[in-house]
Chains A and B, each alone.
Chain A
């Protein structure tokens, strides 16, 4: 999908690049959330495991072992590829990528070279203040992760490298973008969007800090308006979206300065040094590996009939962009609200469950709360989650209880103000709103005779404001309502209260 690349695009917010056009392509490696490793039956979830416990002869590369393809990993890759609008060829194969390194136990990585599981897709990104645009996806393919090396120096000053093979053979999906991004901002947006989609379809935790989402960036500059690409610099060692962004910004500045000084940019690999905020040269083009790819003789080709692909497509959940558009239309939300609510699938699911809890039906009666639910979720709820540092998926408030709370406001059982305290209690305890209200004695007083007595007392105690009101000062009424409210600790039904107060004041005039 190279159409996007040919579109003439406005420059985004890196002003320094005005003379040159920045060209960025990203290679993202994502660990898949399969139960088992890519080519053996070992548990792939190694995060909290004791080193070298999730291993078997296959992932330890003992002599004589053979790989067997994990079909679930193939399915997950196809899911991701479909979500990225890729084409899925019927015929795909694995290849051996040869290079020596102690973390690569077989001495080659089983990867995919010329016939990947998918190619030719796109991802729509939107940088604030700019039109949405498509970034091409060249391919999504499947490979295996390496073991983990840890380098240590002992008390005697002797350095050691330790190998943890738990990670060896964990399914790894590589997503290669076209060189379609034109600024570090776009690159960051691409990563945010990609992560969102991968999490939506549930194929990866896609967490850069945890190492299950890794990104290498290719960046080059060319004179504005030129059609040929400049020499490509590959940047590695970035451990967060922030790092990617800063490393690319640094490269834009560095390469601009080089070009301005009349220097040629050599094609090379550079590493991002977080502490120094700069990249340093690691490997020149001449030192690049010859990976000697050849077809993996231990694995038959992967064939995916159109029906197989359709079956996987049918299992894809609604993707963020589609969901957002639906939220706008179906629930009358603003784009801003819909965007925030659809940020994660958990949040979006929560929202819909709160708008129309099971049993309540998806009728218009419950849809009435659509706006209120959004307000709660983006207001008090979000604030409390933030303060607690937790995620909506772990929230103790059930969606149905948020719905019930709004219903209690609507029917006048509690005021909107009281509801805030009720919600805080719900957030802490996980109890339904009715229970919280009972326990705290917070239900609204609507009974006219009870309110009447309170109003009498307030009138008796506030001669001056009463006189002012009767002299025509309408603001005095507000003050008196406030006094009565304070008397009831906010529980009086404001409408009933105002009505009774007014009646009594006017009657005695």
Chain B
């Protein structure tokens, strides 16, 4: 019997199907692993042990009754930005520290219907704003490959939980790279689907036009399997696309022969970390070896503007999305003030962390009368330009390949006082959100013992090709098979 915490989703499902292992055993193994390592990794904000075991028992009953499913009885961790009925959903914020929602997010409901077992809620940058989990109001999650380093963010807890074998897979959310960047830094697979592919209902909003939910898994096949379960039109989300969900797992083993791989010059700048560059170049050679063509002359000229566009649009939307946290209805509420207005101001002043306040202020400013045209409207126009540049690029290639981050995981505290340096960590990922495209991060090697991620970007709703390319690459090496020692 292999180590149960080391299983992929499909391996676990195979053992469950043959009844060689029970969901309770799998779940207990995950909970034991959490108990053993999470005081060091700090991936979880809430561990729902009893609930998980009850869900496992329910899954075992379904299995005993002959039911089979790719996620039935398999343990999952959920980013604490996903609404879970009866389980605290904190967004790693003081504002929602004690908030228990009365309803499940659509993805949570879909996973429950598929028989998933949720072991807990994972840490994140507060309200998904950040790239390191250092903006969590509670604690910083550690990178399982080096506990002195960040796991990336904002879905750092979910990435670390999968890397540290605390859950078989996890869900996160990605607004500017918040799945792909931590996946890269933690050496796991992480995918942001096309905007509209997965329902956002129950995902606590950061930037509504950019947010998208996606999976963290140990390999690409698992990624396709989880994506199958969470995708699909939701009448409760008017921005979820009324498109059919293909079986993403079906064609992933078709290989890379004939695949046109494009690499934008702007994504391989001279400033790129040498080790990261080596990993990406190795990956490109691997693609060629598999019969793909690689075009190194692609260009996305407005890449440089993407960061500015993002830091106008995302904070603008956030400034409205976070207006509901006023202490009146739920969440943290300061009540010692002289007046209603004082209480509302104090609630927000004390309930939000510095980065959240910074972004609310940037967004409020960008939308103010007199500035709207110069900032928000201009950003929307550039957003259209960025989209068109991707459209043009995809006339020359099937997928775009790039690094996920300019460097491997940085040290905790290294960029905490320099928001702009922190923002630069997402330069390769956030254009993908701006254009609403699907993007994946797959493990592509190590630099000084730290994982490096390869980003593969696809056309809208063409996750299938992205997954096929990722799978083809994954099979040329065993990067995704490695697990952190966690001996520190």
Mark A residues whose CB is within 8 Å of B. 57, 60-69, 96, 98, 100, 102, 105-108, 161, 163, 290, 292-294, 297-300
Contact yes or no, B316 A294, CB < 8 A:
yes
A293 partner residues in chain B, CB cutoff 8 A: 367
Contact yes or no, A102 B326, CB < 8 A:
yes
Contact yes or no, A298 B239, CB < 8 A:
yes
B368 partner residues in chain A, CB cutoff 8 A: 290, 292
Contact yes or no, A107 B101, CB < 8 A:
no
Contact yes or no, A67 B324, CB < 8 A:
no
B405 partner residues in chain A, CB cutoff 8 A: none
Question: Residue on B with the closest CB to A165?
Answer: B329
B81 partner residues in chain A, CB cutoff 8 A: 64
Q: In the docked arrangement, what's the CA distance between A65 and B103, Å?
A: 10
Interface size on B, residues (CB 8 A): 44
Q: In the docked arrangement, what's the CA distance between A60 and B102, Å?
A: 11
Please give the distance in Å from A307's CB to the nearest CB on chain B: 20
Within the complex, which residue of A66, A98, A163, A300 is in contact with B320, where a contact is CB–CB below 8 Å? Answer: A98
Contact yes or no, A108 B99, CB < 8 A:
no
Contact yes or no, B208 A60, CB < 8 A:
no
Question: Residue on A with the closest CB to B200?
Answer: A66
Contact yes or no, A63 B326, CB < 8 A:
no
A68 partner residues in chain B, CB cutoff 8 A: 235-238
Within the complex, which residue of A63, A107, A292 is in contact with B367, where a contact is CB–CB below 8 Å? Answer: A292
* Most chain B CB atoms below 10 A, which of A63, A64, A100, A298: A63
Contact yes or no, A62 B320, CB < 8 A:
no
Per-position binary interface string of chain B over residues 219-237, scored 1 when its CB falls under 8 Å from any chain A CB and 0 otherwise: 0000000000000000111
A60 partner residues in chain B, CB cutoff 8 A: 329
Contact yes or no, A57 B367, CB < 8 A:
no
Please give the distance in Å from B167's CB to the nearest CB on chain A: 21
> B467 an interface residue at 8 Å Cβ cutoff?
no
Question: Residue on A with the closest CB to B202?
Answer: A64
Within the complex, which residue of B209, B238, B340, B372 is in contact with A67, where a contact is CB–CB below 8 Å? Answer: B238
Q: In the docked arrangement, what's the CA distance between A294 and B380, Å?
A: 11
* Given A107-B320, A108-B320, A300-B239 contact (CB < 8 Å): yes
Contact yes or no, B324 A105, CB < 8 A:
yes
* Most chain A CB atoms below 10 A, which of B236, B239, B324: B324
> B466 an interface residue at 8 Å Cβ cutoff?
no
Q: In the docked arrangement, what's the CA distance between A200 and B235, Å?
A: 33
Question: Residue on A with the closest CB to B367?
Answer: A292
Q: In the docked arrangement, what's the CA distance between A300 and B209, Å?
A: 11
Per-position binary interface string of chain B over residues 239-255, scored 1 when its CB falls under 8 Å from any chain A CB and 0 otherwise: 10000000000000000
Please name the 8 residue pairs, one residue from A and one from B, whose CB atoms are nearest each other, closest first. Answer: A107-B323, A292-B367, A297-B208, A297-B209, A63-B204, A64-B83, A64-B204, A64-B202
A96 partner residues in chain B, CB cutoff 8 A: 320
Question: Residue on A with the closest CB to B313?
Answer: A297
Contact yes or no, B320 A294, CB < 8 A:
yes
Please give the distance in Å from B11's CB to the nearest CB on chain A: 32
B91 partner residues in chain A, CB cutoff 8 A: 63
Q: In the docked arrangement, what's the CA distance between A105 and B326, Å?
A: 9
B99 partner residues in chain A, CB cutoff 8 A: 63
B322 partner residues in chain A, CB cutoff 8 A: 107
Per-position binary interface string of chain B over residues 384-421, scored 1 when its CB falls under 8 Å from any chain A CB and 0 otherwise: 00000000000000000000000000000000000000
> B364 an interface residue at 8 Å Cβ cutoff?
yes
B102 partner residues in chain A, CB cutoff 8 A: 57, 62
Q: In the docked arrangement, what's the CA distance between A98 and B319, Å?
A: 9
Contact yes or no, B328 A163, CB < 8 A:
yes
Instruction: Sample 9 A-B pairs with CB under 8 A, ordered by A number.
Output: A60-B329, A63-B83, A63-B101, A98-B323, A107-B324, A292-B372, A294-B367, A297-B208, A299-B239
Q: In the docked arrangement, what's the CA distance between A57 and B316, Å?
A: 24
Contact yes or no, B324 A61, CB < 8 A:
yes
B204 partner residues in chain A, CB cutoff 8 A: 63-64
Question: Residue on A with the closest CB to B376?
Answer: A294
Contact yes or no, B340 A298, CB < 8 A:
no
* Most chain B CB atoms below 10 A, which of A61, A64, A96, A102: A64
